[in-house]
């Protein structure tokens, strides 16, 4: 009995979802087709019913991840506006939170795939670049709206997001071996960026004192 069109679509989604999880956890190059198909609940022979190659799968994963990441960013901004909160602070606090650090499977794809990005195929790299460009454009717009500036918002968005990604990745890198150091990196990075964001608006710092 053949597989219905709807079932084929669902099977493809399952493969993409399983691949994204494994790629995020271990890196694209470290995951073979047999392993990812088994994780999706299928045999390796069925892979080519859905994708021409592993590169095609990686491209599909990257496209989906960037779309999901954009939706998450938009949701964070909408929640901040609904709560009459500062959207820049809200994003920093979410991005540099222990919960986001632990959410490797479904956290920000820009940090999740940054180590793989330069080694991906042309289509997948293109999706990553588009996702990054859209993220920075939206972040710059938020900074512009929040701070009431017309110039420099893009530069601030790039600098701020780069520091956020770097802090997150360093904290993740040592979390399993030295949790205390990982927390220190995350906390100091977050508080520094929040204090800088407040200073740019002429607000007093909200940094909480902590024992060394």
- Render pLDDT for 126-140 as a digit per residue (tens, 0 to 9): 999 999 999 999 999
33 and 93 in one domain? no
Is 210 among the domain residues? no
Mean confidence (pLDDT) of the chain = 90
**pLDDT average, residue stretch 181-204:** 86
Where residue 130 sits, what CATH number does that domain have?
1.10.357.10
Is 128 among the domain residues? yes
121 and 63 in one domain? yes
pLDDT at 205 (0 to 100):
52
**pLDDT average, residue stretch 8-28:** 95
Where residue 28 sits, what CATH number does that domain have?
1.10.10.60
pLDDT band at 201 (very low <50, low <70, confident <90, very high): low
DSSP designation for 116: T
Interaxial angle between packed helices 122-147 and 54-82, expressed in degrees from 0 to 180 and rounded to the nearest 10: 10
DSSP designation for 48: G
Residue with the two structure tokens 């920093």: 92
172 pLDDT exceeds 80? yes
Is 123 among the domain residues? yes
Long-range contacts from 114-117, C-beta under 8 angstroms, 24+ separation: 114/165, 114/169, 115/27, 116/23, 116/27, 116/28, 116/29
166 and 105 in one domain? yes
193 and 103 in one domain? yes
**pLDDT average, residue stretch 108-123:** 95
pLDDT, tens only, 94-103: 999 999 999 9
Q: What percent of the chain has pLDDT over 90?
A: 74
Structurally, the chain folds into a number of domains equal to 2
Is 127 among the domain residues? yes
28 and 68 in one domain? no
Is 211 among the domain residues? no
pLDDT band at 208 (very low <50, low <70, confident <90, very high): very low
90 and 19 in one domain? no
pLDDT band at 187 (very low <50, low <70, confident <90, very high): very high
Instruction: Give backbone dihedrals phi and psi of 86, rounded to 5 degrees, phi first.
Output: -75, 115
70 and 46 in one domain? no
Asked if residues 114 and 169 have their Cβ atoms less than 8 Å apart, the reply is yes
212 pLDDT exceeds 50? no
Domain end call among 51, 74, 90? 51
Is 132 among the domain residues? yes
Domain end call among 13, 35, 51? 51
Can you give the pTM of this predicted structure?
Answer: 0.86
For residue 184, the enclosing domain spans: 59-200
Is 205 among the domain residues? no
166 and 96 in one domain? yes
* Least confident among 28-42, 49-63, 198-212: 198-212
103 and 39 in one domain? no
**pLDDT average, residue stretch 79-91:** 89
Q: How far apart are CA 137 and CA 135, in angstroms?
A: 5
Is 212 among the domain residues? no
pLDDT at 211 (0 to 100):
36
């Amino acid at each position: 009995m053949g597989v219905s069109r709807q079932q084929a679509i669902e099977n493809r989604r399952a493969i993409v979802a399983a691949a994204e999880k494994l790629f995020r956890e271990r890196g694209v190059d470290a995951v073979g087709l047999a392993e990812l198909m088994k994780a999706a609940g299928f045999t390796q022979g069925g892979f080519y019913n859905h994708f021409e190659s592993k590169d095609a799968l990686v491209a599909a994963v990257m496209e989906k991840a960037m779309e999901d990441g954009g939706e998450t960013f938009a949701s964070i901004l909408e929640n901040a506006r609904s709560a009459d909160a500062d959207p820049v602070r809200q994003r920093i606090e979410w991005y540099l939170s222990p919960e986001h650090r632990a959410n490797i499977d479904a956290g920000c794809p820009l940090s999740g795939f940054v180590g793989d990005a330069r080694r991906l195929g042309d289509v997948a790299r293109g999706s990553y670049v588009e996702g990054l460009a859209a993220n920075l454009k939206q972040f710059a717009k938020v900074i512009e709206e929040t701070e009431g500036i017309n110039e420099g918002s893009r530069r601030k968005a790039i600098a701020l997001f780069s520091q956020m990604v770097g802090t997150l990745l360093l904290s993740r890198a040592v979390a399993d071996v030295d949790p205390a150091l990982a927390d220190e990196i995350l906390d100091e990075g977050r508080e520094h960026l929040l204090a800088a964001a407040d200073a740019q608006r002429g607000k007093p710092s909200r940094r909480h004192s902590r024992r060394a």
